[in-house]
Structure 1
Amino acid sequence: MTTRKDQLAAFDRLLTIMDELRTQCPWDKKQTLQSLRPLTIEETYELADAILDNDLNEVKKELGDVLLHIVFYAKIGSEQGAFDIASVCHAICDKLVERHPHIYGDVTASTEEEVKQNWEKIKLKEGKDSVLEGVPKSLPALVKASRIQEKVAGVGFDWEEPHQVWEKVQEELNELNSEIQAERQDHIEKEFGDVLFSMINYARFIGVNPENALEKTNKKFINRFQFLEREAKKQGKKLEDMTLKEMDVFWEASKQFYQ
């Protein structure tokens, strides 16, 4: 592993390259906070994919791309006299020290849950009117639901036992089924949302990240379906000309390769 001196030198090299690109490269010179935003979102998803695939070499590359964006934003901020990379680093360091009083103060927190509860209490003392203020509006709905539930749980608004949450899931499923039977489409959507929200909450209680779980299922389905397509092509068949029963033979065969 590299030394702290080597790490600082590498970071200094990145800052120097950023300075050069900003003054010499036509593309880099044109970028703004707004133009970089969609690219940053894309890079973040690419990092998330690499993490889910457990491809550490790819994780390293994607971390570099994300770090470049952070440095880029800081460079633009310094040009506008708003902030620079030093103030960005100091701000997060100050926040970490303040929000970890069990490390840098006299507060006791021996479990992960106690740390989370202290974190939310500290944020309220910082002037936030609601524990939910920090949930980004543009988060995907599934991730947003997880963050909402984690945050309210941090201040004690939570179920006590997993079986209570599972009972809530069953209750919401029954309500959804009732609306389906009544064919009330506007109510069906509402109840379907309640089912998803309760399932996401249950996932937290059984130690499952719902976003990761769903994405793994997405990848599994894609792999199995593409296996089906390849096998059909080997036999000179087109999916649109096959019966569901014929396709199911390949689908079942795919399960031995993609669990």
Structure 2
Amino acid sequence: MKNLITPPEDNRRQEKLDAFSRLLTIMDELRLNCPWDKKQTIESIRHLTIEETYELSDAILENDIEEVRKELGDIMLHIVFYSKIADELGKFDIAEVLNGISDKLVYRHPHIYSDTEVADEEEVKQNWEKLKLKEKGKKSVLQGVPKSLPALIKAVRIQDKARGVGFDWENKQDVWNKVEEELSEFKEHFNQGEIVDKEKAKQEFGDLLFSLVNYSRFIDIDPEEALELTNKKFIKRFNHIEKRAKEEGKELGDMSLDEMDRYWNEAK
């Protein structure tokens, strides 16, 4: 077994435990005394959790570390909130949540907590997926990919999990060849710029996007992050068009495409 860090080596451990205990106490008080908090259920705060997760994502993309700290606090509150409600229902409490994830981490890191040897990060990922399949109820490597994930992120996770058990391309050139193949198949459903069969074209377009996501992995580019950068660039340039139009007393709907394109180029 590797050299492990023991709690006494962290001279702020008690401060951290005290802070967590304080949050648990506040949660108990809110459930007892606050009309809004008393009313909430696991179902009612679900959409708020999703919102907080996206706000954390925004802070990360903006590289705003202070905002990341705040958003992590919001998400921690939600974890405690769910656990408190479940405790009241007699299902589980925060201790079971924390011990559960600790047990899982120990089990899935045998190269740290047992005598398993690994050569590199890739082997760690492969072991992780194999161990997940052995767990109760796991019938497929892809079972852990949430159905409600946005399609682009889901494609990344599906490909990562498949790679974890060795199902992957051998080199990036093969992947790029697949991209070109899918692009060619997509084009086949057009005739002089018009879609011949929209349903088949949609399927082929999906195949093309999936292959591009695959290629992004091989060149170490996060497709979600790349697309978001383009979104932000578009928003910035479009806002410039709106600003310039306002300065000249014009409405966007009344402007020609050439006029808007000129302002667009100004923003580059």
TM-score by length of 2: 0.92
Tell me which amino acid in the other structure corresponds to 2:40.
Q
TM alignment of 1:36-47, pairs within 5 A: 36-47=45-56
Give the SS at the match of 1:35. coil
1:164 pairs, out of 145, 159, 174, with 174
Aligned: 1:26 with 2:35: yes
2:25 is aligned to 16
Partners of 2:244 and 2:110 lie apart in 1 by: 59
Distance 2:38 2:22 in 1: 19
Is 1:253 the counterpart of 2:262? The answer is no
1:2 to partner: Cα distance: 8.1
Instruction: Read off the aligned partner of 1:211 and give its amino acid letter.
Output: E
Which of 120, 124, 129 pairs up with 2:133? 124
Cα displacement (A) at 1:57: 1.1
Match in the other structure for 2:184: 174
CA-atom RMSD in angstroms:
1.3
What residue is the counterpart of 2:110 in the other structure? 101
Q: For 1:235 and 1:8, locate their aligned partners in 2 and report how far apart those are by CA, in whole Å.
A: 59
Read off the aligned partner of 2:13 and give its amino acid letter: R
The residue number in structure 2 matching 1:203 is 216
Give the equivalent residue in structure 2 for 1:193. Answer: 206
CA distance in 1, matches of 2:47, 2:215: 32
CA 225–2 in structure 1, closer or farther in 2 if over 3 Å, else same: farther
- What number of residue pairs does the alignment pair up? 255
Match of 1:244 in 2: 257
Shift of the 238–68 alpha-carbon distance from structure 1 to 2, 3 Å rule, reads same
TM-score, normalised to structure 1, is 0.96
Deviations 1:55-105 (A, max 9, x none): 111111111111100000010111111111111000000000000111111
Give the Cα separation in 2 of the matches to 1:32 and 1:111.
43
Please list every run of at least 4 consecutive aligned residues from structure 1 whose deviation after the TM superposition is greater than 4 angstroms: none
Residue 240 of structure 1 deviates from its aligned partner by 1.5
Matched, 1:225 2:235: no
Aligned equivalents of 1:221 and 1:141: distance in 2? Answer: 21
* Residue from 71, 76, 88 that aligns with 1:62: 71
How far the C-alpha of 1:110 sits from its partner, in A, is: 3.2
Same amino acid, percent of matched pairs: 63
Unaligned runs of at least 5 residues, structure 1: none
Answer yes or no: is 1:80 the counterpart of 2:89.
yes
Residue in structure 2 matched with residue 137 of structure 1 by the alignment: 147
- The CA distance in 1 between the partners of 2:39 and 2:198, in whole Å, is 48
Ranges in structure 2 where 5+ consecutive residues have no aligned partner: 1-9
